[in-house]
Amino acid sequence: MSRRSLLRALGAGAAGATLAGCGVPAAYVQPGDRAGRDFSATDHTLRFANWPLYIDTDDEDESRRPTLDTFTERTGISVGYTEEINDNDEFFGKISPALMNHQQTGRDLIVISDWMAARFVRLGWVQEMDRTEQPNVAKYLDPQLRSPAFDQGRLHSVPWQSGITGIAYNRKKLGREIKHTSDLWAADLRGKVTLLSGLDESFALLMQGNGVDVTRWTREDFYTTCDQVEKLVKEKHIRRFTGNDYIKDLSTGDVLACQAYSGDVIQLQADNPEIEFVVPEEGAELWAESLMIPNLARHKRSAEKLIDYYYEPEVAAELATWVNYVCPVPAAREVLASAKDEETAALAEDPLIFPDDAMRRRLAIARDITSEERTEFAKKWNSVVGL
């Protein structure tokens, strides 16, 4: 099971949304109050919170993480790495009391999905990074990921890994090719299609299928999509809405086509080469999960150093061979291509790790759901999917 597949549905949908409010919320932290005393020069430790299964591990000892070990050997900085993030909203609830009360979280570095990262940026809960201390990030960050709407210039965030929300299907069992999102609504797929249940994970691809520019989608676009999906539910065309369990449905053949994450499909293909992943002609969503430094982190400079380390092409390549999502460091492709191991070298040609130009032209980063929209939209979407 991949890390991304551990995402669960967006339950109540608006956890913490009321904090963002309208205008300047009560929980907002002013720029001058975000930095704390930095102990990096004297305390060579660092606390890094990440998702499960989202970093390289040693073949013989899964408790060892080779890239982190190399970083420690090189810098002398010991990294306390915890796999404690299983859900964006759950993690938000865990650390938000400290952040809204101007207290330390006990973490120097966290990884959260960009739609949640947008909330942290709006609330002023993360610190701006010093790019003069991060030359690798400045040089190697994928241009397509450099300036999302929620964080212009990526001042507060750096992608850890990226990915695509597209369509996975079993071509052999379906007996034909899928090229468009609308192909999911064909009569022969009635009851054999699943969509993702989470609002933030699902809506962009569906809008793109309707020809919407998701970088500037509107309220009308959202409700048009909801009406379309609601009709398909009533017609029993959609089998169900899923979290990570679409993987099992697709593997068993209970489902022939579904909304899916690119990294999951790479792993599914290892067992079943008949499963294919498609970026529809109308486009698919490119997303990222990003590294951020919380307010009052005790080791900000060390955290910045670790982030920049992972943007060295050789290190990014090593990580890419393990997590199998879109690598945010395109230069890592050349490193993998030169590998002596054929299986490793083949990853350089996988468009789900290094999208080619044709695929990139069909990828877009959706604008975030604003704090003013979230409660209303989550209520509507949850009523459609039955949450």
- Pairing state between β 158-170 and 284-292: antiparallel
Each residue's pLDDT tens digit, 218-254: 999 999 999 999 999 999 999 999 987 898 899 999 9
pLDDT of residue 373: 95
Mean pLDDT score, 48-72: 94
Per-residue confidence (pLDDT) for residue 379, from 0 to 100: 97
If you count them, how many residues does the chain have? 387
Q: What is the pLDDT of residues 5-43, one digit of tens each?
A: 444 333 334 444 445 443 445 689 999 999 999 999 999
Q: What does each C-alpha distance from 264 to 71, 163, 207, 367 come to in angstroms? A: 28, 10, 22, 24
Stretch 125-129: mean pLDDT, rounded? Answer: 98
User: Residue range 72-86: average pLDDT?
Assistant: 97
Residue closest to 13 by CA, chosen among 175, 199, 235: 199
Residue 10, C-beta contacts closer than 8 angstroms, at least 6 positions apart: 89, 197, 198, 199, 200, 201, 378, 381, 382, 387
Q: Are strands 363-364 and 284-292 parallel, antiparallel or unpaired?
A: parallel
Question: Which pLDDT belongs to residue 25?
Answer: 55
> Tens of pLDDT along 161-204?
999 999 999 999 999 999 999 999 999 999 999 999 999 999 99
361-385: buried (b, 16+ CB within 10 Å) or exposed (e) per residue?
A: ebbbbbbbbebeebbebbeebbebb
The reported pLDDT for the residue numbered 44 is 98
Q: Which amino acid appears at position 234 of this protein?
A: K
DSSP category for residue 12 = S
